Amino acid sequence: MPKYSFATAATVDEAVRLLNEPEVRSIPLGGGTDIFVALRVNPLWFDRLVDITHVPELHHIGVADGVVSIGAAVTFTQALESELLQGVAPFLACACENVGGPAIRNSGTLGGNVANAAACADSLPALVCLDAVVHLLSPAGERALPISEFVSGPHQTNIQPGELITHFSFAQPPAGARSAFIKIGRRRAQSISRLSIAAIGTTNAGGAIDYIRITPGAATPKTIRFTPVEDMLKGQPPTRELFVRAGEAMSAEMISVTGRRWSTPYKEIALKAITERVLAAIFLQEAQPC
């Protein structure tokens, strides 16, 4: 007897119906890059996989009325190759380029990355910077909540049984916004983030920073924007000296959330350094990793 069964959904409605059939614990299957790894270490937690990767809407990337939407089954490769995303949110495309190796990027999906909610999930910092909204569908109807509320901790989300993530949406960032993503792993490719950072910002006609969002990844249990640091940057002319202070403030903010832990001596220095680099990439036009 197989340990679990398999079904393929052709439409979003069919996926939701299959996920909610009584007495069959069903979970959506995207790229499988997390599920098949977890299956090797965890006891079986479902009776059926529902393949959602054939649902056309779930692969949609588009913009309407200034709102960008990305389907849950969009793969990292589709996201990083999307001209729309390269244009409106290059740091999200860059984060997707940093995921795993090519085979993982061809299979793994943004919906899966967010649903799995690893603290080190590469797509999270950029999505949190963008104040992305997670759209969910269940027999009860649609539900939408901000990504920083949806992901409540490492491998913890507020998804309810039977709910399917259909897509993410975010307001198109201001024209002229520049963004960057930096990841530190043990090696360049196929590595898990030890620490990462995403930021997006603009300066006004007077040369002062007038829009800035900054979110570190794998720094705090919940991936959140560091708004106190954003506030200290706003209204200031972008200088190296300011970015050094911002780096110190980022580390201080991280420690105020996590306390001092075994990894703090490393992360304190590393977060400071990548903060300076990400801000220099955006505001001082310094070379970006991608």
Q: CA–CA separation, 127 vs 143, rounded Å?
A: 18
**For residue 209, what are its two tokens?**
């920073």
Strands 26-29 and 48-51: parallel
Residue whose CB is less far from other proteins, 188 or 260: 188
Q: Does 37 bind other proteins (CB under 8 A)?
A: yes
Residue whose CB is less far from other proteins, 77 or 169: 77
CA 201 to each of CA 22, 204, 279: distance values in angstroms, whole numbers, following the listed order: 47, 10, 9
Q: Does 33 bind other proteins (CB under 8 A)?
A: yes
**For residue 194, what are its two tokens?**
């030890």
Q: Does 32 bind other proteins (CB under 8 A)?
A: yes
Closest CA to 57 of 40, 41, 74: 74
Q: Judged by CB under 8 A, which stretch of 24-32, 233-241, 252-260, 271-279 contacts other proteins?
A: 24-32
Residue whose CB is less far from other proteins, 31 or 111: 31
Site for other proteins in 165-204 (CB under 8 A): 188-190
Size, binding site for other proteins by CB under 8 A: 27
Q: Does 123 bind other proteins (CB under 8 A)?
A: no
Asked whether 251 and 271 are in contact (CB, 8 A), the reply is: yes
CB of 37 to other proteins, least distance (A): 5
Q: How far is CA 31 from the centre of its chain?
A: 16
Residue whose CB is less far from other proteins, 103 or 140: 103
CB of 232 to other proteins, least distance (A): 37
Compute how many other C-beta atoms are within 10 angstroms of the C-beta atom of residue 175. Answer: 7
Q: Does 43 bind other proteins (CB under 8 A)?
A: no
Q: Does 256 bind other proteins (CB under 8 A)?
A: no
Instruction: Please pick, from the candidates 15, 26, 28, 31, the single residue that binds other proteins as defined by CB under 8 A.
Output: 31
Residue whose CB is less far from other proteins, 1 or 205: 1
Q: Does 40 bind other proteins (CB under 8 A)?
A: yes
Instruction: Please pick, from the candidates 27, 104, 145, 280, the single residue that binds other proteins as defined by CB under 8 A.
Output: 104
Q: CA–CA separation, 165 vs 134, rounded Å?
A: 7
Residue whose CB is less far from other proteins, 100 or 154: 100
CB of 8 to other proteins, least distance (A): 7
Q: CA–CA separation, 160 vs 192, rounded Å?
A: 27
Residue whose CB is less far from other proteins, 154 or 185: 185
Q: Does 103 bind other proteins (CB under 8 A)?
A: yes
Binding mask 62-101 for other proteins (x = CB under 8 A): ---------------x----------------------xx
Task: Note the residues at the interface with other proteins (CB under 8 A).
Answer: 2-6, 8, 29, 31-33, 36-37, 40, 49, 51, 53, 77, 100-104, 106-107, 188-190
